[in-house]
Amino acid sequence: MQYRKFGATGLNVSRVCLGTMTFGFQIDEATSIRIMDTAADAGVTFIDTADVYPLGGGLSRVGRTEEIVGRWLKGKRARFVLATKAVGEMGPSPWDRGASRKHLLDAIDASLKRLDTDYVDLYQLHSDDLDTPLDETLEALDVIVRSGRARYVGVSNFLAYRLARALGRADALRTARFVSVQPRYNLLFRQIERELLPLAQEEGLAVMPYNPLAGGLLTGKHRRETPPPEGRFTVGTAGALYQARYWHEREFATIEALKQLTADAGLTLSTVAVAWVLANDVVTSAILGASRPEQLGDTLAALDLTLAPQLKAKLDELTHEYRFGDATR
């Protein structure tokens, strides 16, 4: 397994991080355990979860994923870098969500209980909360870090200008500084190359992209004219979200071109898609998910693949339109 320094910190993480978003809903616990076992056997030592997971399961299931991960980690916690997230809706009250001081201090304790650990290595804001002052959020996260409940803090799904402002406020307040960003990034969504990735590089932030296979679309197995099978594109609110993001004529046309290109190179599209994400020097660790343990074979193979310059250039060219935002459909 390859390792990369986690931004400007002294921590080193595996180049692949295991995502757990579907554990406990789309995937039962037994399968989730087999996936974690397979990833660990391959050398993956970085695990990412969130308090609202499994995504799409509703309030009745939130927290279940952390419980599954916590049970699996029993007796081997020190061998893994563990990341989780907060901000999402965890209960019926208006204070059971967001980045307020009250919610974050409650949320970290609840996550630690579900994970059956006394600390997480990385505690992240799952999304930006525009209703809470940044200073309040930063001061709450500083309390969490200073108390030892989290080693580092990061963000996910932040716009570049908001992340830049948060970094500036943390410096001014002398609070714990965000060390990482977790954005969506793949061949069909490249907008973060314009501002977020340059910001991360300049500020020394670790970048851990999620969705490198566009919800599985970049495996090349789906067809536009065929309804998506039960899974990522169909289940709950998450299924609707993924269909809205990717299930369009433009994306399928691009995938056909990508499939031909990778087949000509004697490679699978899923391996190439992950290798393309990892080929960006700003990327620290790519988050990979799976619904079956055997699916990790093609994606983990990306670690051993160095894209030929001509192939990389062609991939960039075929997907250039996704770098600049949504085109008319």
pLDDT digits (tens, 9 = 90+) for 177-188: 999 999 999 999
Query: In the beta sheet, which residues pair with residue 288?
Result: 18
Query: In the beta sheet, which residues pair with residue 17?
Result: 287
User: Running DSSP on this structure, what letter comes out for residue 193?
Assistant: G
pLDDT exceeds 60 at position 329: no
53-67, 155-169, 186-200, 236-250: which has the minimum mean pLDDT? Answer: 236-250
**Rounded distance between C-alpha atoms, residue 70 and residue 54, angstroms:** 14
What's the token pair of residue 305? Answer: 């693949």
Q: What is the mean pLDDT of residues 316-324?
A: 93
pLDDT exceeds 70 at position 11: yes
**Rounded distance between C-alpha atoms, residue 316 and residue 88, angstroms:** 34
Residue 27: CA count within 13 A, CB half-sphere: 25
What's the token pair of residue 41? Answer: 């056997």
Q: Is residue 53 annotated as part of the catalytic site, yes or no?
A: yes
pTM score, whole prediction: 0.92
Instruction: State pLDDT tens for residues 24-44.
Output: 998 999 999 999 999 999 999
Token pair 């757990």 in the structure block, residue = 20
The pLDDT score that the predictor gives to residue 249 is: 81
For residue 67, which of 55, 49, 45 has the smallest C-alpha distance? 49
> Rounded to the nearest 5 degrees, what angle is found at the Cα of 71, between the Cα atoms of 65 and 73?
100
User: Running DSSP on this structure, what letter comes out for residue 121?
Assistant: E
**How many C-beta neighbours within 10 Å does residue 173 have?**
14
| Mean pLDDT for the chain overall | 93
**Domain covering 3-217+277-303 assigned CATH 3.20.20.100 in the classification:** yes
**Rounded distance between C-alpha atoms, residue 163 and residue 177, angstroms:** 11
Q: Catalytic: which of 3, 53, 123, 210? A: 53
**Rounded distance between C-alpha atoms, residue 152 and residue 248, angstroms:** 38
Helix (H) or strand (E) holding 82: strand 81-86
Query: 328: pLDDT confidence band, cut at 50, 70 and 90?
Result: very low
DSSP strands (E only) in 191-315? 206-207, 286-288
For residue 275, which of 262, 263, 292 has the smallest C-alpha distance? 262
Domains of the chain, residue spans = 3-217+277-303
For residue 101, which of 67, 139, 145, 69 has the smallest C-alpha distance? 139
